[in-house]
């Protein structure tokens, strides 16, 4: 029976187990360039035994950053430090992945521990963009500039160029961030998108930007490497995006060459942020529903803390992989401890330099 420590093959990439590091913003880059912080942050999770290590939301344009301290792949000079990190991840048995993103209405903000508010230009902020002029809400009060068709074209080209740089940087797994109120989610969510052109109104129009972006990325991202999309699989709000919508979208994404749906939820606007934090138990069921109904592979994320819980998700067929965030921050060696708890061999989960002493 398939379990948490069974290998997982996606396209021509094989993960040593079904444990992945969920992308977590570190807000520690310098003009989009990774620093030693990222080497230690990501590298320690590879040493700790994760099969997949996904780097944080990485902006495809400078204006697509959440904060001035976000990671980026909009420039060739951002590639070299990532190559070093990815060599280290592979050396210690993890597949290096990256999440490409555009912050949309949430762009140009202070770091969370510095207030998380939109920054004025004199503070280092910039004008956000989105499907319309409605602000995200909460501390993100700045009105975005409604995107023109030319803006939409530029963003798609930027995703494509960032995917090309990701390949040069040595990534073998790529995820498009289309959740949590960022740009792509704001287009498909009816709670946000009130456009009347080809990118708004009907279901097909609202998903158009995401599908076109996937096509741009898949055109340059090799078929041998998996492509994933993180969705907010439901807005948890009447009149919003639903899991039934996600099932149909999952089928469409699969036909466009997407191999895995990373099933998160909520966050279309500030009003739904409490749902994002409060529905994590329900969120785990989304991966199962979408996997069974759409036929595309899924990743379960949100509130996974226990080895038996994670193992049961895989054994019961609810998802193909589990992604952990906060728990892997608390314990980079969670995979090693999980293997012990589940009676699985710990050999090969962590490097021999560590296993010699603690295995």
- pLDDT score, position 277: 45
Residue 317 φ/ψ region, left for φ over 0, alpha for ψ in the -120 to 50 degree band, beta for the rest? left
Asked whether the beta carbons of 95 and 183 are under 8 A apart, the reply is no
76-110 CB burial, b ≥16 within 10 A, e <16: eebbebbeebbebbeebbbbbbbbbbbbbbbbbbb
Per-residue pLDDT tens digits for 171-190:
999 999 999 999 999 999 99
Annotated catalytic sites, by residue?
A: 182
Per-residue pLDDT tens digits for 113-148:
999 999 999 999 999 999 999 999 999 999 999 999
Per-residue pLDDT tens digits for 75-100:
999 999 999 999 999 999 999 999 99
- pLDDT score, position 227: 98
- pLDDT score, position 197: 98
Per-residue pLDDT tens digits for 215-269:
999 999 999 999 999 999 999 999 999 999 999 999 999 999 999 999 999 999 9
Q: How confident is the model at residue 280 (pLDDT cuts 50, 70, 90)?
A: low
Strand 8-10 with 13-15, pairing:
antiparallel
| Helices of type H across the chain | 36-47, 80-91, 149-169, 183-188, 203-206, 208-220, 243-255, 273-278, 280-294, 307-315, 326-330, 334-341, 352-358
When the pLDDT of each residue in the chain is averaged and rounded to a whole number, the result is: 96
- pLDDT score, position 10: 98
pTM for the full model? 0.97
- pLDDT score, position 284: 87
Per-residue pLDDT tens digits for 188-209:
999 999 999 999 999 999 999 9
| Helices of type H across 23-76 | 36-47
Per-residue pLDDT tens digits for 16-65:
999 999 999 999 999 999 999 999 999 999 999 999 999 999 999 999 99
Closest CA to 207 of 191, 180, 186: 186
Q: How confident is the model at residue 278 (pLDDT cuts 50, 70, 90)?
A: very low
pLDDT at 274 over 80: no
- pLDDT score, position 93: 97
Asked whether the beta carbons of 329 and 10 are under 8 A apart, the reply is no
DSSP code for 119: P
- pLDDT score, position 281: 58
76 or 284, greater pLDDT: 76
- pLDDT score, position 338: 98
- pLDDT score, position 75: 98
The full length of the chain comes to: 359
How would you class 188 by CB atoms within 10 Å of its CB: exposed for 0-12, middle for 13-18, buried for 19 or more? buried
Q: How confident is the model at residue 273 (pLDDT cuts 50, 70, 90)?
A: low
- pLDDT score, position 291: 97
For the chain, the C-alpha Rg in angstroms (whole number) is 19
Asked whether the beta carbons of 61 and 165 are under 8 A apart, the reply is no
DSSP code for 230: E
- pLDDT score, position 12: 98
- pLDDT score, position 57: 98
Average pLDDT (303-323) is 97
């Amino acid at each position: 029976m398939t379990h948490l420590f069974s290998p997982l093959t996606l396209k021509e990439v094989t993960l040593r187990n079904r444990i992945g590091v969920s992308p977590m913003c570190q807000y520690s880059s310098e003009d989009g360039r990774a620093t030693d912080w990222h080497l230690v942050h990501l590298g320690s999770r590879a040493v700790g035994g994760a099969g997949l290590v996904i780097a944080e939301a990485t902006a495809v344009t400078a204006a697509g950053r959440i904060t001035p301290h976000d990671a980026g792949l909009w420039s060739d000079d951002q590639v070299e430090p990532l190559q070093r990190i990815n060599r280290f991840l592979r050396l210690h048995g993890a597949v290096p992945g990256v999440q490409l993103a555009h912050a949309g209405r949430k762009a140009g903000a202070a770091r969370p521990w510095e207030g998380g508010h939109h920054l004025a230009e004199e503070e280092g902020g910039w004008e956000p963009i989105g499907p319309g002029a409605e602000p995200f809400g909460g501390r993100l009060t700045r009105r975005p500039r409604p995107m023109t068709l030319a803006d939409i074209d530029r963003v798609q080209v930027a995703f494509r160029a960032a995917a090309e740089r990701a390949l040069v940087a040595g990534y073998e797994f790529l995820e498009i961030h289309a959740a949590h109120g960022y740009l792509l989610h704001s287009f498909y969510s009816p709670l946000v998108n009130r456009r009347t052109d080809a990118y708004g109104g009907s279901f097909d129009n609202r998903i158009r930007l995401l599908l076109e972006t996937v096509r741009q990325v898949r055109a340059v991202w090799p078929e041998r490497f998996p492509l994933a999309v993180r969705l907010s699989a439901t807005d948890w709000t009447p009149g919003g995006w639903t899991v039934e919508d996600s099932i149909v979208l999952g089928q469409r994404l699969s036909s466009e060459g997407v191999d895995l749906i990373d099933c998160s939820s909520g966050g279309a606007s500030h009003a739904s942020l409490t749902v994002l934090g409060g529905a994590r138990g329900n969120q785990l069921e989304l991966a199962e529903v979408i996997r069974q109904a759409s036929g595309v592979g899924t990743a379960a994320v949100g509130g996974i803390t226990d080895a038996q819980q994670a193992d049961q998700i895989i054994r019961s067929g609810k998802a193909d992989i589990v992604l952990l965030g906060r728990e892997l921050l608390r314990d980079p060696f969670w995979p090693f401890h999980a293997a012990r708890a589940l009676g699985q061999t710990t050999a090969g989960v962590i490097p021999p330099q560590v296993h010699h002493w603690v295995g």
